[in-house]
Amino acid sequence: MSMVDINDFLREEVYTYKGETYSVRDNGAVMRHPLNVAKPRPTDLKWVFGKPNIKHGYLEIAAVRVHRIVALAFLGEPETPEHVVDHIDTNRHNNRPENLRWLTRLENVLNNPITLKRVELVCGSVERFLANPSLLGASTLDTNFSWMRTVTREEAQASLERLQAWASKRDTSRSDFKGQLGEWVFQPPLKVQGFSNYHNGYAYSDLTESLTAGAVQRKWRVPAEFPCCPLIGQDVSLTAYAQKLAVGAVFAQTHFSESKVVEVVISQDETSLWVLCAQGEGAVKPWSLAQITCENGLYVHTSLGTFFHKDGAEKQLHLAQGLEWTGGDTFDDYC
């Protein structure tokens, strides 16, 4: 377990909540200002992440929930008094602003794939939960706070990716939450020699693990399964991959969506493979484009974007190949 430096932050705000003024950092730490400068209270003027409440697991400072202070300071006021703070990665100790968002209580369940998967495990289905929300009250999953802790930026990203991958699996069970959950959740992201960059002085892998062995993702946050990807152990060949990508075949899928092959193009030197796909029903942007390369023995799937109209994806496909596009402007050029 790594220790999070309370002084490792980039931005600091001041916010007044329920008559108390706090300094708030973008790593989730807070400091309460004294009401009487001459007589500060024992917990005033001290930077803390908060103390976990044993009943609900949220971090608190003097019985005030820290995540609400951070959300108000960095995200602003909620749309309505009924909105609550959602921890996107479900780690109630991760109060970094990028991990928080305002949602209604129903959205808090239905719009978070990790929470939604837990609801399905406990209640059997979303429909059963909606018919009887009290079913969730007997859950033992929500009382397991032992794995939760404050995290570094890199740990926050790693844990979110692993939990999203778990949520997107078609076959999951409560047994996934047994054992040393924290050791699994906070494992560092996939490290492959040669695939790292630096941002704000921190080293990050620019790859995300997929749900298919031998396949990784770039610029593609939610882990996906690639059914047509050649098996690991076979010769890494884009030609072999292209032969499996028949029109109409499923190219990528998660628990929530899938994309099907519309067009496949391989470069003359066979070092790049482009796949134009149609997304599943209900997608806001129904077209997508991906590039596949072979790097260090892995099939690297890079997202080149999603598009409102097919010609937007076709234009990007032309440009990715270094070809001239003669179709003029597309709707997606202005989005």
Do 221 and 238 meet the contact criterion of CB atoms below 8 Å apart?
A: no
Residue 187 has pLDDT above 80, yes or no: no
Residue 171 within any structural domain of the chain: no
Mean per-residue pLDDT of the chain: 82
Give the pLDDT of residue 196. Answer: 42
Instruction: Give the pLDDT band (50/70/90) at residue 160.
Output: confident
Judge whether 278 and 249 are in contact, CB under 8 Å: no
pLDDT at 285: 92
Indicate if 148 and 277 belong to the same structural domain: no
Question: Using CA atoms, how far apart are residues 277 and 294, in angstroms rounded to an integer?
Answer: 20
Are residues 220 and 151 both part of a single domain? no
Q: Is residue 199 part of a domain?
A: no
**Cβ neighbour number for residue 17 with a 10 Å cutoff:** 16
Last residue of a domain, one of 164, 199, 228: 164
Q: DSSP of 306-333, one letter per residue?
A: EESSHHHHHHHHHHHTTPPP-S---GGG
pLDDT in tens, 116-156: 776 776 677 767 766 776 666 544 445 556 667 787 877 77
- Binning pLDDT at 50, 70 and 90, where does residue 208 land? confident
Report the C-alpha gap between 122 and 47 in whole angstroms: 38
Q: Examine the domain organization and report whether 60 and 140 are in the same domain.
A: yes
**pLDDT given for residue 254 in this prediction:** 80
Based on the fold, state whether residues 152 and 216 are members of the same structural domain.
Answer: no
The stretch 288-300 carries a mean pLDDT of 91
* 3 within a domain of the structure (yes/no): no
Structural domain range at position 248: 208-333
146/284 same-domain check: no
Q: Are residues 213 and 97 in the same domain?
A: no
CATH of the domain at 28: 3.90.75.20
Are 132 and 80 part of one and the same domain? yes
